[in-house]
């Protein structure tokens, strides 16, 4: 059976942009998924670097303004892999445009920003995708706990939501 396309718009071409691009390219080798990620557009401030990233990873086009990327009708999912101080504004605009939102950690610069992002996405009702691994501050753990509560109470039992803080370590995992 043919997989449904999932048209990805990536914001950011740095390390996390490369990491997420690789994940989209490889996901079908590791998991049984109903959708095939299609790397539609990468967005970054430097057109030359964005074009180089697009060529290296197989993106179909380049944008230099994330607002144009969010407005595009051929994009289903906005993956935010840009600097942390840009996450809130991009996520709010993507949610308002009805896009699925995937955001690199930390989701927001504070629990309040993260809450604002989650509320915007919930109000727009697209699918939320988030996976975070690694070192976490107490504030990040509180944010992840908030997101876990949202997942358990609002998204439903068909999701795989969970938070783990390993004993004696500052590591956490949240995925849904």
Bridge-based pairing of strands 171-175 and 163-165 is antiparallel
pLDDT tens for 49-66 read 999 999 999 999 999 999
Higher-confidence residue of 34 and 15: namely 15
Predicted model pTM: 0.72
d(CA 63, CA 68): 7
All structural domains of the chain with their residue ranges: 4-129, 131-176
Using DSSP, state whether 55 is helix, strand or coil.
helix
CB 92 within 8 A of CB 103: no
Any idea which architecture 4-129 has in CATH?
A: 3-Layer(aba) Sandwich (3.40)
Radius of gyration of the chain (CA): 16
């Amino acid at each position: 059976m043919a997989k449904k396309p999932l048209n990805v718009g990536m914001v950011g071409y740095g390390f996390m942009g490369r990491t997420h691009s690789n994940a989209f390219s490889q996901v079908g080798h590791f998991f049984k998924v109903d959708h095939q990620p299609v790397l539609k557009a990468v967005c970054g401030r430097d057109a030359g670097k964005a074009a180089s990233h697009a060529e290296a990873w197989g993106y179909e086009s380049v944008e230099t303004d994330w607002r144009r990327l969010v407005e595009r009708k051929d994009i289903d999912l906005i993956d935010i892999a840009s600097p942390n101080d840009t996450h809130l504004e991009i996520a709010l605009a993507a949610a308002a445009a009805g896009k699925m939102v995937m955001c690199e950690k930390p989701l927001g610069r504070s629990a309040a920003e993260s809450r604002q992002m989650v509320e915007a996405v919930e109000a727009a009702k697209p699918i939320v995708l988030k996976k975070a691994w690694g070192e976490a501050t107490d504030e990040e753990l509180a944010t992840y706990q908030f997101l876990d509560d949202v997942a358990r109470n609002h998204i439903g039992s068909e999701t795989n939501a969970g938070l783990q803080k390993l004993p004696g370590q500052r590591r956490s995992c949240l995925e849904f």
